[in-house]
Chains A and B, each alone.
Chain A
Amino acid sequence: MAKKYVSGVAGIWLDDHELVKACAKVRDAGYTKFDAIAPFPVHGLEEAIGIRRSWIPYVTFAMGLFGAACGLLLQYWTSAIDWPINVGGKPFFSAPAFIPVTFELTILFAALSSVATLIVVCGLPRVDPPIIDPDLTSHKFAIFIPETEAGYDPAKAEQFLKSLGATEVKRIAEY
């Protein structure tokens, strides 16, 4: 059976400020694929890890424009071409009357495609990922260095995390 999850080395921290400092050092040491796990949002963590801004907003914007075009064309085709209906003597293609539906489809396409993109990109849903430490949901923090990292050496990574002040180091494996 193929491996479902990436294995690697995890270090546990008890203080969020220490975590941010350690993350910056891990990044400086040349690691690029590592991640941090925290029970709540920690200010400055994204910068310390070197996470760049998500590209999903561009998907949202593009799909919003696509939704607007679909909404407008749908109404144009149904009420002016396929089955023209005279409503109150107004033109068949009455832009003001079409704005609400166009707006709704803009939002619908933008919102649904953002969520769908997020689910696909993050590989959700993850039902049974290996648990590093149950306390990561309440008061502990972790840095996870995956095996996919270039030049990955679990012993070296363990040593490195310990030197940064990890209170505990674990090998996370999934076979």
Chain B
Amino acid sequence: MAATHSSPVHVNPGTYVVSKRTKTLFSVCIFLGVLALAYGLLKDRDRAWHAYLVGAFYFANMALAGLFFAAINHVAKAGWSVTVRRIGESFTSYLPLAFASFLVLLAGAGSLYSWTDKALAHSDHLIAAKTAYLNMPFFIVRIVVFFGAWLLFKKLIVGSSVAQDKTGDERITVKQVGYSIAFVLVFAISYSLFSVDTLMSLEPHFFSTIWGVYCFAGLFQAFFAAFILVTVHLMNKGLLRGLVNENHLHDLAKFMKAFTIFYAYIAFSQFMLIWYANLPEETFFYIDRTMGGWMAATASLFILKFAVPFLLLLPRWAKRTPAHLVFVSILILIMQYVDIHWMVYPNLDKERWLFGPLEVGAFLFFAGLFVMAITNFLAKNPIVPLKDPRVEEAVHHVVTY
């Protein structure tokens, strides 16, 4: 077979144009977000940084999930996902901004992480024992190394996928397998440490060895919710016709359901072991989250992040009906916010469930940046990698019953 491959698929997926409305929408979001964060920094510095961390982590997750999705599909040599892969890849266009957001976060480390307090680190024996890992220079090095590695893999995986659009070189598809295996391994370690550094170390006394997996479960569950929203949005605009249909949505929804179950499994595993072992240095994490207003948030995670989406995604028709999927996806995206808020905010206030204009503003700020990044990416690049040698398989994809 020739080195270059001319695709037998001649369907035009259409070109995505960032509409004026979308541009206004994300500009307003970013503007309101900046106002809210600036006001928050002047009024209540600590709370502003907590709001910032939740938003920054939420969307850094999305960008990483996009890369992880592309990688696992290359590793599995998946055919069905080729026509939707570019949408997942578009999420990675936020990754440089995510890096910037975490560099900015370093300025707020004092408001977030009690271990940065030298006096406390000396007097508190448990923190003192962890200073070899939890210290500012090493923290900065880790953030830079993690994002550096992720950006490198984004360049390799997404970069060569885009390059294949022009050349149609089949060897790229073969090379992607190697890049992707390497990324999956790097991602497992770096993301675990990243979630431990940025979220778990908010409470330096606490430790949970499943923390990284817990964060990953939420990351991938919420990713498919966002993925489905973007896909349905493009389909509603009349794009992707003849390339993406309800069979692809069905498989994305199956993924979303699978990771809804996975999330519940990991969340319960973390809780049950801590509850059963009953060690004071671990149990306080859950005690804090069952006191005051926090019990409602904890219960909502079980009900609205697992039980309700699970039942709503159970029937076959549910996974093939765009309007229904949009509803479930929005629910999951809201609950992902509640989940990260639930991990971060008890550090600030153990009594009350703080949520107000500042939190909304901080979330809108990052949401605006994220939408800006992915819409620009989709407008700049073809929305379907039509020269991928497996595209034919994706076009004829059918989920049988």
Contact = CB atoms under 8 A, between A and B. Distances in A.
Interface string B263-307: 000001001100110100000000000000000000000000000
Interface residues of A, number: 12
A88 B268 CA distance: 20
Given A96-B272, A99-B272, A88 B278 contact: yes
A97 B276 contact: yes
Interface of A: 41, 43-44, 46, 53-54, 61, 88, 96-97, 99-100
B264 to A, nearest CB: 10
Nearest to B271: A96
Nearest to B315: A57
Interface residues of B, number: 12
Interface of B: 268, 271-272, 275-276, 278, 314, 316, 396, 398, 400-401
Contacts of A97: 272, 276
B175 to A, nearest CB: 31
A96 B400 contact: no
Contacts of B401: 46, 53-54
Contacts of A41: 400
Contacts of B396: 43
Contacts of A53: 316, 401
23 contacts: A41-B400, A43-B396, A43-B398, A43-B400, A44-B398, A46-B400, A46-B401, A53-B316, A53-B401, A54-B401, A61-B314, A88-B276, A88-B278, A96-B268, A96-B271, A96-B272, A96-B275, A96-B276, A97-B272, A97-B276, A99-B268, A99-B272, A100-B272
Contacts of A88: 276, 278
- A-B pairs, top 4 by smallest CB distance, nearest first, are A43-B398, A96-B272, A53-B401, A96-B275
Nearest to B397: A43
A100 B271 CA distance: 13
A41 B278 CA distance: 53
Contacts of A44: 398
A95 B398 CA distance: 42
A99 to B, nearest CB: 6
B316 to A, nearest CB: 7
A144 to B, nearest CB: 21
Contacts of B271: 96
B207 to A, nearest CB: 20
Nearest to A43: B398
Nearest to A44: B398
B292 to A, nearest CB: 21
A46 B276 CA distance: 50
B238 to A, nearest CB: 26
